[in-house]
Structure 1
Amino acid sequence: MENFVDETTRQATRQWTLAQPAVSAFISSVVRDFRDRDDVLQNVAVAVVESFHAYDSNSPFIPWALGIARRQVGLYWRRRGRDPLVFDDDAVACLAIAFHEEAQTRSAKFDFLQDCLGSFDGRAKKLLGLRYRDDMKPAAIASETGMTANSVAKALQRIRDQLRACIERKSLEASVP
């Protein structure tokens, strides 16, 4: 079977997949009706793919996508007419900036998570793989490893606590100039 997706569309889709949670959260913050939110988000996705040729790959993608979302939200509000809770353009711009900054923080924490996961070996690495890669529950992991379900659950909790502490430590180290 032929592949009908060109490389540009593939790249746009990859970038959109990473940006979509931040864009969706931004839209949700300024559009109250959930059906309208879905419509606006869909319009943003289409606009991102259609205008991806204009995207400068040397620039961060999320702010670019949020810019398109700002324009789509503006179009939505103009089509909808007057609403007593409509944000002005400056408020929408501030929200877009805040969502971009939050997305950057989450992206950095994901990078820290990858680093922290690399520090585990042996039993901890096996337990993490069984739980999160293979999506096994503690009882199934217990059968696989010869541990009790309770000891698996406790070990996973300790590992998650260690991961959280590692991510927080790396975040603090990164924020110190």
Structure 2
Amino acid sequence: MREGKDEWTGLMRLAISGDSAAYHRLLKAVTPVLRAGARRGLARAGQPVDQSEDVVQDILLAVHLKRHTWDVNAPFAPWLFAIARNKLIDALRRRGRRVFVNIDDFAETIPDQPSAETASAGEIAGLLQTLPPRQRDVLQSIAVESASIKDTAAKFSMSEGAVRVALHRALSGLTAKLREH
């Protein structure tokens, strides 16, 4: 598996330098690993594993939005697995769960099924632009800037409930659009 993770680092370096084909290959390679890790983490938390696709899409979106923060001199896998762990924790918190998620749920996963097609970075960016502005702003604030629901609500003069609804609608809309592609 180490060899595969080194390949991921090389693909991400190419992707950062503008190689969209390498980015597509990277996303295709990491998706089954993320899917298996999300399923394992949800199962350990007593949650339905059929929610794993939503978690995977959240992870891929965060990777796309935060790819500029990755240090090209560092290995890619630990950065990816940290994002994956955080997105799984976020998903469990939204379900009212407070649990510890072991990063090894992702790090030790070996793909057990063929990769599903994933959207390219350009496609995701384009789909983000199709969201209503308020949903896009809320998603940007929470997913990219790591702002809390409370801080996002204050920033946009919204109630915390309205922020949660906008975030949910943005993620649901984006997930639906990604599945159409």
For normalisation by structure 2, the TM-score amounts to 0.43
